[in-house]
Amino acid sequence: MSGLASLPTSLPPSASGVTLSAGTFTDSMRTVWARFRTRKLAYYSFHFLILLYLVAVFAEFLAPYDALRYDLDHPYCPPQLLNFSFSRGLYVHPLELHINPVTFRRIYVERADVAVPVSFFAQSEPYHLCGIIPLQHKFLGVSTSNAPGTFYLLGTDKYGRDILSRTIHGARISLSVGLLGVVITCLLGMTIGGISGYVGGRTDNLIQRGIEIINSFPHVPLWIAVAATLPRDWSPLRIYFAVTLVLSLLTWTSLARVVRGKILVLREEDYATAARLLGASHTRILFRHLLPGFTSHIIVSLTFAIPAMILGETALSFLGLGLRPPIVSWGVMIQDCLDVQAIRYYPWLLVPVVFIVLAVLGFNYVGDALRDAADPYAAQK
């Protein structure tokens, strides 16, 4: 009792609790953002990623066609050039399919005498944006009231499905896998890593040995083995969540170790000790006082985890062990690239690969810049 009586009636600023934690967190994030903006490549990559996610959200409106629409009269149709003239406006020349009678190769001939008008907010078949809002217009396309004609800016696949439309729709699945997986990774990593660092002792030793066992397995073969156990008769939605869960269960360990290391240092600080003496619960100390102290480092770790999950989904779907048709994702789309001859004659099938590379590079640039911006010693170097 004498020890408690000697405590000051007013806590020092470092132990002021929630108010200081919120203010410190806000100031820290402003400082990180100011440093981040000086990295131009990362800053532009950040806006590019926002654009990608906006495209994924409004996929039904931005895609010229439905992702499952097929045109068997135009398989492997090459990309068409969008033209403009003051008299006609935007238009494309339709392509006609001809079969070489000797080699049986498909040859598309452009009809220069015919112009298919293309317009913004063109009338289309009725659809629902995000499955909720009923619409009947596309951002760019051929109006349904016009004469039929081909309009494939990035070509088609073997079933005559528009590559551009499928790439836009596939962005929703591939990019959301990364976000949803990061949420699960964040919950597991922060909770398990926080408990490991805060409790210590045998609990810490047991958790760290378990993390080492998980990290000892090669991730790609383990992903394949777990994904191969998924029932083939599952619905696409169940497969989607199952693949996301599999990716998350194998990527939380690095975040847990980062959290554990920070907690080991911060749990001995004066404000943590003061909170314990005032009777704060261990849960409150951990989640309201300690974890907010290095939120920026957690954000950096999660930024690097998103591209890893995108590549994991792409690899599983490419091998036919992850997402499967009729789900449309970038990994499902590049299954057509298994045929080397198809890539040789129809290189536009690699369009989803370009977007995968750009998205992963964008996340890596942003993560690298955030790591430097969150380093308090970076400005002194």
pTM of the model: 0.81
Q: Is the dihedral angle over the CA atoms 118, 120, 123, 124 positive or is it negative?
A: positive
Start-end of CATH 1.10.3720.10 domains in the chain? 15-57+166-380
DSSP 8-class letter at 207: H
CB 331 within 8 A of CB 318: yes
Give yes or no for residue 21 having a pLDDT over 60: no
Check residue 155 and give left, alpha or beta (phi > 0: left; psi -120 to 50: alpha).
left
Pick the closest to residue 243 from 306, 169, 313 (CA basis).
313
Architecture of domain 15-57+166-380: Orthogonal Bundle (1.10)
Question: What's the confidence (pLDDT) of residue 164?
Answer: 94
Please tell me which residue, 293 or 155, carries the higher pLDDT value. Answer: 155
Q: What is the pLDDT of residues 40-78, one digit of tens each?
A: 999 999 999 999 999 999 999 999 999 988 888 889 999
**Mean pLDDT, to the nearest integer, of 83-110?**
86
CA atoms of 95 and 112, how far apart (whole Å): 9
Q: What is the pLDDT of residues 334-359, one digit of tens each?
A: 988 888 888 888 999 999 999 999 99
**Mean pLDDT, to the nearest integer, of 307-312?**
86
